Amino acid sequence: MLFIKKRSKIAVTAGLVAMAFASSVYAEVSLKQATEIQRSLLTLDTHLDTPANLVMPGFDIMQRHSYDHDFNQVDVPRMNDGALDGGFWAIYSPQGPLTEEGYQQSRDTAILRALAIHTMVTAHPDTFGFATEAAQAAPIKAAGKHVVFMSMENSYPLGNDISLLETFYKLGVRLAGPVHFKNNQLGDSSTDPDGPKWGGLSPLGEKFVAEANRLGIVLDGSHAGDETVKDMIRLSKTPIMLSHSGSKAVYAHPRNVDDELLKQLAATGGVIQMNAYSSYLKKLPADPKRNEAFKGFIAMMQQAESGEMTAADYDKMQQMRRKIEHDFPAVKATFEDYMEHFLHTLKVVGPEHVGIGADWDGGGGVEGMMDVASLPKITQRLLNEGYSKQDLANIWGLNALRVLQAADDYAKSLKTSK
Amino acid sequence: MLFIKKRSKIAVTAGLVAMAFASSVYAEVSLKQATEIQRSLLTLDTHLDTPANLVMPGFDIMQRHSYDHDFNQVDVPRMNDGALDGGFWAIYSPQGPLTEEGYQQSRDTAILRALAIHTMVTAHPDTFGFATEAAQAAPIKAAGKHVVFMSMENSYPLGNDISLLETFYKLGVRLAGPVHFKNNQLGDSSTDPDGPKWGGLSPLGEKFVAEANRLGIVLDGSHAGDETVKDMIRLSKTPIMLSHSGSKAVYAHPRNVDDELLKQLAATGGVIQMNAYSSYLKKLPADPKRNEAFKGFIAMMQQAESGEMTAADYDKMQQMRRKIEHDFPAVKATFEDYMEHFLHTLKVVGPEHVGIGADWDGGGGVEGMMDVASLPKITQRLLNEGYSKQDLANIWGLNALRVLQAADDYAKSLKTSK
């Protein structure tokens, strides 16, 4: 399947020319100007892990938080500050054992997470609008609301029952990736310590791709191993997305993709959304003391998520974390490191195949951009690199919506051809 | 398991004595007085089919409807008029084919119905309170809100995967019956035209009972065949409920239970909630013309439920129904017919084992009581029959909550004994 559009090649060329003359031709855009320009665009981050916070005791998406205090990165006040309209709010499932019991627990948790996302929207009808179709995003923004698409990070909760993908489709999921940190029943992860198990998608994973196509769900190749991504591109009838990934040419981490795969992704109409997860952006020094201090913290997080923790206990947990962060501060990549991935990827595939998925509330954040309030820095930098407002419109949302539209169109074409 | 309490026998005796002298000892209670008394009690109907309306185009639970105009029987203004605090809001699933595809479709629809019930509560936080424990009901009433327990009418959506009962438990279900109009994978219905298939619960149905017990879900024997109910009573570790049923001694319909089974239910601590479904209350004349006129209407209802109908088309559908109701008016049982079942059942098992589940929005309603606004008539009549305010408190809610508490206590005892 070839989706190359002439316009995208022209756009790449225009971008490069603009970049070459950026410093001489354009006056520098201020952050304030960039923010205003960004506000005029439909802005979507394709990987918001914020729904995990929705089930935390006492968390209120309407209130302003700060990363330094409680480590949250997304709330309505900061979305407004950072001119972020919304995005794909993820049902994240940690990888568990490939057993019936594991599948069932994960399925239930994922269904409840979908309920939590709907509850957020229903509880604040003037603030959020739930979207299942590409064309719904702009009207939601026009109504002064934030856009809530739903996605699934790790489709482990489907177990061996691919029919559950339709359940999640009906609940609103429109973007789904097969795997997370480890290989599972659907295919190989990019980061399984045991290496590949299937050599790409598993046979069940191939069915997963077909079912996503049938339903109109965009396939998400982030976290998937390279061979898995290639299988997805090969098998999918519609362009795929890497909802939060980086460039292997800039930093050779398994979570990033090389230029050849990027070109293959773009050639099939797909899109990569740039991830701001520090340890995927450059080699950071090992920090065994910090890791040691964090031991036990994960278990507490899970307890908090399960609803078995009071708000007071959750506050105590956050206090502990502040102490750890104080005693063993994280070494982060910088905003410049992030932009290096971003700009390289733009050079390779052009602004019609790049977007933003910074892994907010899922580990994302770099020095100089630790929450969504700082997002206009990206716009400022890209404008100053010579990218046009139309490029920014594509990057900030239209590319992702194009891919979603293609998935939807394909699914509808199956229905009408019946 | 024997749950007979001395107090219940005394209550029956006291009730009978009071009834015998009602006309001479007590002044007649007016409807207004009865309404005020009812308002002071926690009032729950254990079978509200209203959630089916929640997904109908344009339906608004906050607005006043009328049965004559749109055939809805439950909304907030009329709950307020009729002093109904709330009840068990049912996820109703029509019985479909016992195939994987049938199971999957039904599972998905049931999950979405649970979402619709939560959405109702979340959208109106000052009006509704969601409850999963017996002890939550009174505080919700005290806060001036309506009580929303969730139940499952027909557990067909579980398919062959009993683990899905936990999914629904986590979504909030605390009362579940195995079957509806027809036999299914879990057991025999009381009304399958082909007669019994399993002779009671199926082997999977026995697992269903054990799983409900383990989770703390009350088993609902309404719609189940008599042998199925007996199996449920025999196997269940906690008292069961008939959420909307009647007396076979008054009218020998398969949906009703005979005195012997009633006594068995009561002896094990269970409760029967009196159903106001006209054609189960007495023999009504056949009406082939009306039935003919209704053909095709069911399919339209399903289309409306599926979300594929506009509000305008739904209005048209309601107009059609109004014409049918005008041309071929339904013959209904009367309020007196309803009370005959009610009073007989009270005589047999006493006011600690009887409650109210009138099948509102699911076919319930009798001449003189066609919506929840008329519910105080029941209170008036029972008070005038000599039942005490405490009896009314038991009938209106405490009996159902006792059974729910027992189910919860049992499930908790399993956890602590681990």
Using one digit for the tens of pLDDT, what is the confidence trace for A184-230?
A: 999 999 999 999 999 999 999 999 999 999 999 999 999 999 999 99
pLDDT at B15 over 50: no
Interchain proximity A118–B123, CB inside 8 Å: no
Closest CA to B385 of B34, B1, B2: B34
B108 at A interface, C-beta within 8 A: yes
Residues, chain B, total? 418
User: A418 pLDDT band (50/70/90 cuts)?
Assistant: low
List Cβ neighbours of A96 (8 Å cut-off, separation of 6 or more): A102, A105, A106, A156
In chain B, which residues have their Cβ closer than 8 Å to the Cβ of A100? 163
Q: Locate B366 and state its tokens.
A: 């009798």
Measure A308 CA to nearest chain B CA, in Å: 13
Q: List, as ranges, residues 118-137 from B with C-beta within 8 Å of A.
A: 118-119, 122-123, 125
pLDDT at B6 over 80: no
Interchain proximity B167–A118, CB inside 8 Å: no
Reduce the DSSP state of residue B204 to 3 states and report it: helix
How far apart, in Å, are the Cα atoms of A270 and each of A237, B201, B261, B269?
11, 52, 65, 62
In chain A, which residues have their Cβ closer than 8 Å to the Cβ of B133? none
List Cβ neighbours of A316 (8 Å cut-off, separation of 6 or more): none
Task: Please check whether residue A112 is in contact with residue A121, taking contact to mean a CB–CB distance below 8 angstroms.
Answer: no
pLDDT for res B17 = 44
B409 at A interface, C-beta within 8 A: no
In chain A, which residues have their Cβ closer than 8 Å to the Cβ of B112? 170-171
> What is the dihedral angle through the alpha carbons of B301, B302, B305, B308, rounded to the nearest 10 degrees?
-100
| A131-183 pLDDT per residue, tens | 999 999 999 999 999 999 999 999 999 999 999 999 999 999 999 999 999 99
pLDDT for res A416 = 81
Entry pTM: 0.92
How far apart, in Å, are the Cα atoms of B385 and each of A154, B16, B27, B391?
62, 9, 11, 11
- Its ipTM equals 0.91
Place of tokens 């008939």: B242
Tell me the C-alpha distance between B260 and B227, whole Å: 13
Reduce the DSSP state of residue A411 to 3 states and report it: helix
How far apart, in Å, are the Cα atoms of B204 and each of A181, A285, B184, B187, B200?
37, 56, 10, 8, 11
Tell me the C-alpha distance between A73 and A372, whole Å: 6
pLDDT at B300 over 90: no
CA R_g for chain B: 20
Name residue A308's amino acid.
Answer: E
| B157-188 pLDDT per residue, tens | 999 999 999 999 999 999 999 999 999 999 99
The number of angstroms, rounded, from the C-alpha of A46 to the middle of its chain's C-alpha atoms is 4
Interchain proximity B111–A167, CB inside 8 Å: yes
Task: Please check whether residue B113 is in contact with residue B138, taking contact to mean a CB–CB distance below 8 angstroms.
Answer: no
Query: At the fourth CATH level, which superfamily is domain A37-284+332-416?
Result: Metal-dependent hydrolases (3.20.20.140)
Interchain proximity B122–A125, CB inside 8 Å: no
Give kind and range of the element (H or E) at residue A149: strand A146-153
User: A13 pLDDT band (50/70/90 cuts)?
Assistant: very low
Interface test with A, best of B106, B163, B415 (most A CBs within 10 A): B163
Measure A223 CA to nearest chain B CA, in Å: 27
Higher-pLDDT residue of A27 and A269 is A269
pLDDT for res B4 = 35
pLDDT for res A26 = 53
| B197-255 pLDDT per residue, tens | 999 999 999 999 999 999 999 999 999 999 999 999 999 999 999 999 999 999 999 99
Interchain proximity B171–A100, CB inside 8 Å: no
Q: What does the domain layout of chain A look like in residue ranges?
A: 37-284+332-416, 287-331
Tell me the C-alpha distance between A175 and A89, whole Å: 10
Interchain proximity A119–B123, CB inside 8 Å: no
pLDDT for res B417 = 74
Q: Is B274 exposed, middle or buried (0-12, 13-18, 19+ CB in 10 A)?
A: buried
B99 at A interface, C-beta within 8 A: no
In chain B, which residues have their Cβ closer than 8 Å to the Cβ of A108? 166-167, 170
Neighbours of A291 (CB within 10 A): 10
In chain A, which residues have their Cβ closer than 8 Å to the Cβ of B123? 122-123, 125
pLDDT at B16 over 70: no
In chain B, which residues have their Cβ closer than 8 Å to the Cβ of A122? 119, 122-123
